[in-house]
Amino acid sequence: MGMGAMGKRVLAKLQERGLNPQQLSCVVPAHEAAPVAAQSFGIEVFRDLPSLLSWHPTLAVECAGHAAVDETVVPLLEHGVDAILVSIGALSSAPLFEKINRAMKAGCSHLTLVSGAIGGIDALHAARMGGLEAVRYIGRKPPRAWEGSPAEDQFDLRAIDKPTVIFEGTAGESARLFPKNANVTAAVALAGVGFDKTTVTMMADPSIEKNVHEVEATGAFGRLLIRLENNPLPDNPRTSWLAAMSIEDAVIRRLEHSI
């Protein structure tokens, strides 16, 4: 689901591993034109859920944004189709979170959340077993990476000449306000102290070319510091290349497990 920069990378990687076009498809809403990329990959395009289900998919990979989680991922899970979720910021909605849990129970299906552009999620998840006192995320991206986000309405991104705070608040607020930029904050929140207790600072920094992600956590275990400096995806500067790789890794792990 979704044929943007990440979706195309996933398709390319799957074809590199020997999957033929007949084993792959994409979902495009009826009001949107069929993506050119689908033709170049030679895969089938579905316009609605019934048509897709008649194809008998076994795994759905969501790369289409928050709206697709409720509209497409939930009903697929209800019909027994496992899914890999990229737009995990959508889980900041408690009603949707519960809806997904009910769908998995109804369909005996499984949902995999990718770590995206951040690392150390396993350590953060383990640390909460002893009690976490505080978790803070700081994200820095070049000003151009904030184009197409609410930051454009508040700042002249081209005029920013020093590190500038774009957002400060909770992980839940950042995931809702910056859905295309803040999936990392959602991953940190889900692994740690939750959306309402995870503090977030996001910045536009003209002195950097990479997407920088930092996590600091303290608790009974001690202190955790994580810093990643990720190259942006060539076709989408808002997204770290590592985020696309995390999807590829999740899909390949699933395929190897199936074998």
Q: What residues are labeled active site? A: 213
CA distance 110 to 11: 21
DSSP string of 222-237, one letter each residue: EEEEEEEEEPEETTEE
Say which amino acid occupies 141.
Answer: K
Q: Residue 174 in contact with residue 149, Cβ under 8 Å? A: no
Chain CA centroid to CA 259, Å: 26
What is the C-alpha to C-alpha distance for residues 104 and 118, in angstroms, rounded to an integer?
A: 26
Is the separation of the CB atoms in 74 and 87 below 8 Å? no
Query: Which residues fall within 8 angstroms of residue 87, CB to CB, at 6 or more apart?
Result: 62, 64, 65, 66, 68, 69, 179, 183
Gyration radius from the chain CA atoms: 19
